[in-house]
Each structure stands twice: as structure tokens, then as C-alpha cells.
Amino acid sequence: MKILLKPGASEIEVKKSKFIATLKSVTNEEEAQAFINEMKKKYWDAKHNCSAFVIGKNAELTRCSDDGEPAQTAGRPMLNVLLHSEVRNVVCVVTRYFGGTLLGTGGLIKAYSDAVAEALENSILGEEIEGVRIGFSLDYAAYGKVQYEFSQIGVDVVDAVFAENVTAAVRIPAEQESDIRALLIDATGGSVIISDTEPCIIVQEMKKS
């Protein structure tokens, strides 16, 4: 599932009308509506604060609002951009300051769509994937070797506790589990104790193409 790691924003101008798009990561409808209300309060002097949100891995909940614009010219185009992007658990508000020139149906649809698309482009996106948390225990000398090996492949050690021995864990994509187990055993000459393995969600930053 694609999610926002760092929400972006955008500001475009079309025939002197200004469109400001703001994104936020949310987990439910209440959070989405609270953000919409926040933006309406922030931009209280704007003619329109149109909105759209998508919640759930499979877009189980979607809502959109034209906020006074002609029907289907603002909220629906905004929602379509969010759905097409495949980003989930996201809300967007596009604030319009009217510039005095009517844009027409096509002009409005394009302006609201472009504002959302640019805000997404300015965001940092992440992807949630199925992973596993592998806990392990080992002595200090072995821990140094393991930490070095993990650093070479971009795996971070987490939850490290330093006592008589070191207990720690890694969170990795599920398909890497057998390789990481083998690395732990090889790096420690078999002295490592793998204490537990449990499923988890891994969030990875998505690289822009």
C-alpha cells in the first residue's frame, strides 16, 4: 500500500485564480474531516475549499466535495487523481482564490486535478509491505560483526539492549527472512540465539522514477 511519508503541497495559478493543494496522511474519516475543517479555517477568506480523501488499502472509504464549485468539477477530479496515484490513507484540500475569470467545466477539472497531482509529486511516498521481526541474542564480539554485515546491506538493528549479552532485532521484508537468518549464523559462527520471529509491516521510501 502506498502512503505519504512526507506530505507535499502545491500552488498553481490559472487565469488569476490561485489553487493551493494541501495533503495529509490520515487513518479514518474523522481525521480526514478534521483536516478539512482545519484548512477551511486557515483559508477562511477563500471562495472554495474543495476536498477528497481515500482510506483503506483497497480504497474502502472515499469522499469528495465540490464546496460550491459546479458539480463534478473539483472534488471528483481530485478524488480520481488520488485513486489513480494508488496512495491510500490520504486527504487533500484544494483551496481556490477566485481571480475574476470563469474557467469553465474543463478548466476547473484540469486546475483541480493538476493541483493535486503536483502536490503528490512534491510529496515523499512510502510503501507498506509484509515483513518479519527477527529477535536475536549474542555476545558483544559477535554483535559487532553482525552490525557491520547488516550495515553493508542496508539493514538497521533495532531494539538493542546491552546487558551481559546483547539482545536486538531487525525488521525486514518477509522474503529476506532465510537470507538474514543465514547471515546471523555465518557472522557469529553459529553462536547466535534467534529468540523470536513475528510478522510486522515494513515501510519503505519509494524512489521517484
Chain mean pLDDT for the chain: 95
pLDDT class of 34 with cuts at 50, 70, 90: very high
Task: Tell me the helix, strand and coil percentages in the chain, rounded to 5.
Answer: 35, 40, 25
Average pLDDT for 175-204: 93
The 10s digit of each residue's pLDDT in 86-115 is 999 999 999 999 999 999 999 999 999 999
**Percentage above 70 pLDDT, the chain:** 99
Average pLDDT for 29-34: 97
Average pLDDT for 188-206: 91
Q: What's residue 209's pLDDT? A: 62
**Residue 192 pLDDT > 90, yes or no?**
yes
pLDDT class of 149 with cuts at 50, 70, 90: very high
C-alpha to C-alpha distance for 62 and 57, rounded to whole angstroms: 12
Of 128 and 119, the one with more pLDDT? 119
Q: What's residue 204's pLDDT? A: 84
C-alpha to C-alpha distance for 141 and 155, rounded to whole angstroms: 19
- Neighbour count for residue 11 (Cβ, 10 Å): 13
Q: What's residue 206's pLDDT? A: 81
With cell 459546479, the residue in question is 70
Residue among 62, 64, 67, 73 nearest 95 (CA): 67
Average pLDDT for 32-43: 97
What structural domains does the chain harbor? 2-122 (3.30.230.30), 127-205 (3.30.70.240)
**Residue 188 pLDDT > 80, yes or no?**
yes
DSSP class of residue 78?
H
As to burial, measured by CB atoms within 10 angstroms (0-12 exposed, 13-18 middle, 19+ buried), residue 202 is: middle
